Structures are given as structure tokens and as C-alpha cells.
């Protein structure tokens, strides 16, 4: 088995007396898409926040390729290859889709700080941006202002911007929230394609269970902040423990 790219060790956070995430130990490997499920309030987003650096745990560790990220600020973790999709935070609404992606590519290569750029460099940046446009099937809207995109395409643009950062770890927290059933599969397929690059690790919080079963290599289940199941999709979703958790929550998957 390949070495884990990302690990959490006894990761724990308390808010006052409430333990939101409780000693979660888990390894994630390159080429693997792990879906994290669990009822509302289970601690999924909080777990993500401790991995990407929005929250500092009370106890435990976050390791990326063996490097301890636990107390690093989010910006530094991103430079260590931890990439998390956020809803259009780094977007320039009046610039075109292509220009937005090109800026993300430029930021990744570190050329953003250079004032004079040879034309050849600009062409190279554009070529790379166009690859992400194609990968996310946004080429047909390349020249529209980002703000003019329909909701579904905006979510794809978030994926494109994240790809442009070339992280090793891709994290998506309910990327299809608020999307119509027509558009949700597109974005999820896109996310599934990322793992074809065997060097990438994908973590996805998603509740559309039909899709999850198909895309996931592995499912982990959080419940009351604890990791209660971890395994192959069929095995986990059909387990009695997981059924009980969801029946106890009116059968709702979130
Ligand atoms: N900043 C915070 N302060 C206090 N409680 C929080 C905070 N963030 C999350 N929680 C609590 O932690 C628990 C887990 O929340 P969350 O991670 O958002 O769950 P999920 O994403 O699985 O729905 C919830 O009980 C929530 O109210
Ligand atoms: Mg959440």
C-alpha cells in the first residue's frame, strides 16, 4: 500500500464542554477518493477545518507527508499542498473565467510578484489555464465574466481554481449543496476525475448517496465527532451500525 499523504492522529476539538471531533485517527492515500458522511452536526466540517487550518485542534495532529501541520496557518498549509475548495472566495467577478484561472495559475507559479513578464511566459500561463478550462468543461464559457456564470458553472470554476493551485490534497465540503439534481453529477464526476492522477488525494463530504456509492473508493462515517466506520462503500453503507446511526436521525444523510 502507498504511504499516506495525509493523516490525522487523535484529532480532537472541544468547544466549551462540547467535543465536536473526538480522537479521529485516519490515513488518506494518493489515488484514493474518500467520502466522509455522517448526520448533521457529526463534525465533518469541523474535521475539515482542522485539516485545512481554519481551526486549531485541542489535541492531536495533522500530518502531510509526515510534516506536522497542526499549528500552521491555512495559507502555509496550502503551500504544503492542502487545497480546499471554498465558494468563490478568490474570484474576480468582472474578469473572464479564463482570466480568473490564469491568475490562479500565476499565483501558483509565484509569478504574481513579478511586474515585467516576458510574453512567452504569459502564453505559457494561458496554455496551462486552458488545460484546466478543458478539464472542467468550461471552455465554452471561457470569455464570460465569472459573475455571469450560472450556478452550476460557478461551482465548476471553483474546482478549476483549486486544480490551478495544483494541491496534493483536494478537499470538498458538500460541493453540490444548493445545486439542482441536473448539475450535481457534473461537478461530482469532475471531482472523481481528479483521482485519476494517482498522486492526488481527494476528500469529499457529500450526501447524495447514490452518487457517493459510485464515486467513493472508501467511505468513512463520523457520528457525534467520532469515526465509527471506515471501509469500502458497499460494506460501510450496508453495515448495521451505519444504518442505526441514520435511522436514529430520521434516515437523513448529510
Ligand atoms: N466554532 C464553533 N463553536 C462552537 N461549536 C461549534 C463550532 N463549529 C462547530 N461547532 C459544533 O460542532 C458540531 C459539529 O459541527 P459541524 O462540524 O459543522 O458538523 P457537520 O459538518 O458534520 O454537519 C456541532 O455540534 C456544531 O454546533
Ligand atoms: Mg458541514
**Cα-based angle 168, 171, 174 (whole degrees, multiple of 5):** 160
Tell me, what's the pLDDT at 128?
93
Helices (H), 63-110: 74-79, 97-109
Q: How far apart are CA 186 and CA 131, in angstroms?
A: 18
Domains of the chain: 53-69+77-178+189-204 (3.40.50.300)
This prediction's pTM: 0.90
3-state secondary structure of 20: strand
Using CB atoms within 10 A of its CB, is residue 49 exposed (0-12), middle (13-18) or buried (19+)? buried
Tell me, what's the pLDDT at 250?
43
Residues 133-186 pLDDT 10s = 999 999 999 999 999 998 889 889 999 999 999 999 999 999 888 777 777 778
Q: Give the Å distance between the CA of 140 and the centre of ligand 2.
A: 32
Question: SS3 helix, strand, coil % of the chain, rounded to 5?
Answer: 40, 25, 35
Tell me, what's the pLDDT at 44?
97
Better pLDDT: 184 or 27: 27
Which grid coordinates belong to 43? 463534525
Per the prediction, the chain carries an average pLDDT of: 89
Q: Give the Å distance between the CA of 226 and the centre of ligand 1.
A: 13
Residues 63-106 pLDDT 10s = 999 999 999 999 899 999 999 987 666 688 899 999 999 999 98
Residues with CB under 6 A from ligand 1: 15, 20, 38, 40-46
Amino acid at each position: 500500500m502507498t504511504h499516506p499523504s495525509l493523516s490525522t492522529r487523535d484529532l480532537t476539538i472541544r468547544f466549551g464542554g462540547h467535543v465536536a471531533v473526538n480522537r479521529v485517527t485516519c490515513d488518506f492515500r494518493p489515488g484514493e477518493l474518500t467520502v466522509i458522511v455522517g448526520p448533521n452536526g457529526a463534525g465533518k466540517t469541523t474535521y475539515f477545518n482542522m485539516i485545512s487550518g481554519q481551526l486549531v485542534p485541542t489535541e492531536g495532529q495533522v500530518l502531510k507527508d509526515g510534516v506536522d501541520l497542526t499549528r500552521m496557518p491555512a495559507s502555509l498549509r496550502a503551500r504544503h499542498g492542502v487545497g480546499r475548495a471554498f465558494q468563490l472566495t478568490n474570484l474576480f467577478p468582472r474578469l473572464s473565467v479564463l482570466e480568473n484561472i490564469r491568475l490562479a495559475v500565476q499565483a501558483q507559479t509565484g509569478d504574481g510578484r513579478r511586474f515585467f513578464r516576458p510574453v512567452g511566459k504569459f502564453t505559457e500561463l494561458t496554455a496551462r489555464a486552458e488545460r484546466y478550462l478543458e478539464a472542467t468543461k468550461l471552455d465554452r464559457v471561457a470569455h464570460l465574466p465569472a459573475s455571469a456564470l450560472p450556478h452550476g458553472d460557478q461551482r465548476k470554476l471553483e474546482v478549476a481554481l483549486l486544480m490551478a493551485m495544483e494541491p496534493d490534497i483536494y478537499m470538498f465540503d458538500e460541493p453540490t449543496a444548493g445545486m439542482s439534481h441536473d448539475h450535481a453529477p457534473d461537478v461530482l464526476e469532475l471531482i472523481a476525475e481528479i483521482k485519476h492522477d494517482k498522486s492526488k488525494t481527494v476528500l469529499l463530504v457529500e450526501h447524495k448517496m447514490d452518487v457517493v456509492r459510485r464515486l467513493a473508493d472508501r467511505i468513512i462515517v463520523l457520528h457525534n465527532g467520532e469515526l465509527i466506520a471506515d471501509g469500502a462503500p458497499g460494506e460501510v453503507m450496508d453495515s448495521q451500525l451505519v444504518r442505526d446511526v441514520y435511522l436514529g436521525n430520521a434516515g437523513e444523510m448529510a
